[in-house]
Amino acid sequence: MTNRVTELLKIEYPILMGGMAWAGTAKLAAAVSNAGGLGVIGSGAMNADQLLEAIQTLRKLTDKPFGVNIMLASPYVDELVQVVLRESVPAVTFGAGNPAKYIPTLKEKGIVVMPVVASDSLARLLERSGADAVIAEGMESGGHIGEVSTLVLVDKVVRSVTIPVIAAGGIADGRQMAAMFALGAEGIQMGTRFLATVESQVHENYKSRILKASIRDTVITGAALGHPARVLKSPFANHIRQLEAKSPLEAEQILVGSLRRAVLEGDLESGSFMAGQSAGLIEQILPVEKVISEVVQEFFQTVERLCKEVLR
């Protein structure tokens, strides 16, 4: 596949890995890059030294382009940006805010900048600030979310900017990829689908919960705290939802470390298993290469089928 996204990132397929804290390891990112997509290290839980180690580990596993995701809510954001600059990381995605002040310096170094956006207004602002592309992420996604569905958001953002738009949020197969391309997107980002892979290092309990989930098995926690996140249903998630309305401070304290407990320990009692609604579409744990090849194959089959139906 060749389009503006593949040419910009020098990758084979316009498929990006979501920037997932704790779960976005060097091993998983390298597997995505080796399979022709863009693997992305999730630095959300890292300090500068940890990110440097992850980048060095990844470079031992692949010579393909890769990216780093930086959460603007991180207390180490300035230090993380400096690591990215020193290491000449090929691409950076940003989440949880407006990264406009970092864009000029990154672009001077030749680094591709692709912020995640949840609105058309932020997309326009970041285009003016020099972003190379934007990732329009709808509320179907796992983890921290906005308020607009992927279908509506991608359509609006594509109409609002001239730079490439990458669709994200609830995407796990080739038919959905074709739908996003029909809206004008030139790439997709997947997170939950890559969690349920052989190379993913999340706990087996995490993978099992994704396989067992239906499309209605996610809930939103943290809405009353100002940082809504989509997670798999559980007694812990229900407890947080009830507690945040009565005692926000206590809910906030209990949430600290809950994603780490889910990813590393598979803690079914006090872990937050972040996942998108696409969890209900995932039925197998597959190697990353198989996931990407199936998505691409189904994408082309869907486009071909639609062309035949329209043109017959």
HSE-up (13 A, CA, CB side) for residue 187: 30
- Looking at the fold, whether 176 and 258 belong to one and the same domain comes out as no
pLDDT computed for residue 71 by the predictor: 93
Taking the CA atoms of residue 139, residue 29, residue 233 and residue 205 in that order, the dihedral angle to the nearest 10 degrees is: 170
Count of all residues that appear for the chain in the document: 312
Residue 307, in any domain of the structure: no
Q: What burial class does residue 214 get, using C-beta atoms within 10 Å of its C-beta: 0-12 exposed, 13-18 middle, 19+ buried? A: exposed
Residue 193, in any domain of the structure: yes
- Looking at the fold, whether 221 and 265 belong to one and the same domain comes out as yes
Residue 88's domain spans which residues? 4-200
**How does pLDDT run across 258-278, given as a tens digit for each residue?**
999 999 999 999 999 999 999
Q: Would the pTM of this model clear 0.85, i.e. be above it?
A: yes
Residue burial 126-144, b: 16+ Cβ < 10 Å; e: rest: bbebebbbbbbbbbbbbbb
The residue with greater pLDDT, 213 or 248, is 213
pLDDT computed for residue 222 by the predictor: 87
- Backbone dihedral angles phi then psi of residue 36, each to the nearest 5 degrees: 105, -5
Residue 103, in any domain of the structure: yes
**How does pLDDT run across 2-11, given as a tens digit for each residue?**
999 999 999 9
Domain boundary residue among 144, 177, 200? 200
Residue 287, in any domain of the structure: no
Contact 124, 98 (CB under 8 A): no
**How does pLDDT run across 44-61, given as a tens digit for each residue?**
889 999 999 999 999 999
Q: Which long-range contacts (CB under 8 A, 24 or more apart) does 22-25 make?
A: 22/202, 22/259, 22/260, 22/263, 22/264, 23/195, 23/200, 23/201, 23/202, 23/206, 23/263, 24/69, 25/54, 25/201
Q: How far apart are the first and last CA of the chain?
A: 25
pLDDT computed for residue 135 by the predictor: 97
The residue with greater pLDDT, 115 or 73, is 115
| Element spanning 238, H or E | helix 235-246
**How does pLDDT run across 272-306, given as a tens digit for each residue?**
999 999 999 999 999 999 999 999 999 999 999 99
SS3 85: helix
- Looking at the fold, whether 66 and 181 belong to one and the same domain comes out as yes
Q: What is the CATH number of the domain that holds 193?
A: 3.20.20.70
Residue 268, in any domain of the structure: yes
Residue 285, in any domain of the structure: no
How many domains does the chain divide into?
Answer: 2
- Looking at the fold, whether 88 and 42 belong to one and the same domain comes out as yes
- Looking at the fold, whether 183 and 40 belong to one and the same domain comes out as yes
pLDDT computed for residue 186 by the predictor: 97
- Looking at the fold, whether 194 and 222 belong to one and the same domain comes out as no
Residue 42, in any domain of the structure: yes
Q: Is the pLDDT of residue 1 over 90?
A: no
Category of 189 on φ-ψ map: left (φ > 0), alpha (ψ -120 to 50) or beta: beta
Residue 208, in any domain of the structure: no
Q: What does the pLDDT average to over 32-37?
A: 98
- Looking at the fold, whether 63 and 188 belong to one and the same domain comes out as yes
- Looking at the fold, whether 185 and 254 belong to one and the same domain comes out as no
Q: How high is the mean pLDDT of the chain?
A: 94
